[in-house]
Structure 1
Amino acid sequence: MSEIFGFDAFSPKEIAVRIETIGVTKARLPLIPTLMLSVLAGAFIGLGALYFVIVKSDPALSFAAKQVLGGVTFSIGLILVIVAGAELFTGNNLLVMAWADKKITTFELLRNWAIVSIGNFIGATGLALLVFLSHHPDMNNGAVAQEYLRIAAAKVAMPFWTAFFKGILCNVLVCMAVWMAFAGRSVIDKAVAIIFPISAFVAAGFEHSIANMFMIPLAMLLQNFSSTGATDTITWTGFFGSLIPVILGNIVGGSVLVGLVYHIIYRQQPL
């Protein structure tokens, strides 16, 4: 079926089959490999967020330049996840396709999401600690640290429903990036497929739960253990209050608006 598209890529129907097959493998991966790959994914997304904040902290750039260039640099996170191999909660929302086709059970689906989200949290917060200890945020005369604090303060102050809907929009684009990466046969194919959707969600200011697991804890470390002059506005209560609606939004965006929609189109209906 790929031939009708006129280029060497998997067709959408073939992508659906590949994602469902890989979803079964992911859901049944043993605990230790799943957890370790999840820790890697949390760190990879954190590295993308770190790259993004460097761009955002430059006052010489215009708003649009910061958002778009920052989004392109953030894309390194998902490129590392897809190409190097790791388990990312937001991308694994696509396991719902295998669940909808009764290839995996509800328990297997939720088990994967629970383990992966815990591993992502460990990887993202662990990277935050390493970055803090490295004094990386001191770059640009402390402008990088101030940008982390500004971004985190805005995230924890965001109303529940705003964070929820931003989470939906974010993971629609993240899962579309994963979907299109599965169309590619080479590393270049996958990277190009990832960059545009990911840079779009970042530029638009949507909310990614795993990126927040890196940025908000790092901001708390900067607030509490460095001479940034910040007040104690960023707390663990604020962090989890922000994280819950974003996670719920990510699940709706990735599982329902991408995974279940494509399941209905390509797996449930005869073509």
Structure 2
Amino acid sequence: MAFHSSQQIAELAVEAGMKKASMRPAHTLLLGFLGGAFISFGFLLDIRVIANLPQEWGSFSSLLGGAVFPVGLMLIIIAGGELLTGNMMALPIAVLAKRATLKQLGKNWLLVLVSNFIGAIFVAYFFGHIVGLTETGVFLTKTVAIAEAKIDETFFKTLISAIGCNWLVCLGVWLAFGADDIGGKILAIWFPIMAFVAIGFQHVVANMFVIPAAIFAGHFTWGDYLANFVPVFIGNAIGGGVFVALIYWMVHKDSLQTLSNARVSIKKAS
């Protein structure tokens, strides 16, 4: 199973960030809706799998939940979708490589943030609340317990947890760039995403599903959600933008600059 080198992955990440930065706003919104919904499907599957497991299984249930959650990112990477946390790596590395602007980064993040939220809320309300997949018996208990654990953390702990989360999520995206075939991409995505879920790190888009799902069931408030959103957003941005995009750009910036100059020369010559 062939794979790309880290330098080649950096080049592919820059190209992806550049394409995202110049995407039509309508397409960004549509794909962002799908991204939020796909991550929510993964979280919903997680809840439906682990809620009935015996308490004696302990952390093994977290491993099982983590094993099924990655379907969300698999759908985004392979079928197509825009995910805020992944774009927190792709847009910054494109900006650092001077293939996108800060204005484009801000516009993309805002559009994807809004559309991810709409997609997550859609799944939480219609499948979780209307159908009742997160509001009956043990499934309600598990949904509320997960949401409460996320809300109850202090601002600083939540921020640090969010850094760890998107460090792993963006590494999953980074590794997916390293594979050309679907099987390779699935394996590349599965391990880092399974790890962040099993550890219990905080993901801004996943929280757009589970906390509102608990709110629709009559638990917590939108103020609780907002208090969680702020540190998770900041931490996720640091995890993807600093610990993946910035570090790999610093390692590969010379080759990225050479590639960029070569393309400029070709463009001028043509």
Task: Give the TM-score taking structure 1 as reference length.
Answer: 0.90
The residue aligned with 1:149 is: 144
> 2:14 is matched with which residue: 9, 20, 23?
20
The residue aligned with 2:92 is: 96
Structure 1 Cα separation of the partners of residues 71 and 115 of structure 2 = 19
Structure 1 Cα separation of the partners of residues 125 and 62 of structure 2 = 26
> 1:191 is matched with which residue: 186, 201, 222?
186
The residue aligned with 2:230 is: 244
SS in 1 for 2:59: helix
- Please tell me the residue identity of whatever aligns with 1:59: L
The residue aligned with 2:126 is: 130
Matched, 1:50 2:76: no
Displacement of 1:129 after TM fit?
Answer: 0.8
Structure 2 Cα separation of the partners of residues 90 and 137 of structure 1 = 24
8 Å contact kept, 2:53–2:61 = no
SS in 1 for 2:217: helix
- Please tell me the residue identity of whatever aligns with 2:67: V
Match runs of 1:104-183 below 5 Å: 104-131=100-127, 132-138=129-135, 142-183=137-178
Task: Give the TM-score taking structure 2 as reference length.
Answer: 0.91
SS in 2 for 1:136: coil
Displacement of 1:267 after TM fit?
Answer: 2.3
Structure 1 residue ranges, 4+ long, deviating more than 6 angstroms after superposition: none
Structure 1, 148-157 or 53-62: larger mean CA deviation = 53-62
- Give the unaligned 5+ runs of structure 2: 259-270
Structure 2 Cα separation of the partners of residues 96 and 237 of structure 1 = 30
8 Å contact kept, 2:92–2:105 = yes
8 Å contact kept, 2:135–2:217 = no
Structure 1, 261-270 or 197-206: larger mean CA deviation = 261-270
Displacement of 1:269 after TM fit?
Answer: 6.2
- Please tell me the residue identity of whatever aligns with 2:51: S
Structure 1 Cα separation of the partners of residues 125 and 46 of structure 2 = 18
The residue aligned with 1:227 is: none
Structure 2 Cα separation of the partners of residues 269 and 257 of structure 1 = 19
Q: State the aligned residue count.
A: 254
RMSD of aligned residue pairs (Cα, Å): 1.4
The residue aligned with 1:3 is: none
Displacement of 1:74 after TM fit?
Answer: 0.5
What percent identity do the matched residue pairs reach? 37
Structure 2 Cα separation of the partners of residues 137 and 217 of structure 1 = 11
Structure 1, 167-176 or 130-139: larger mean CA deviation = 130-139
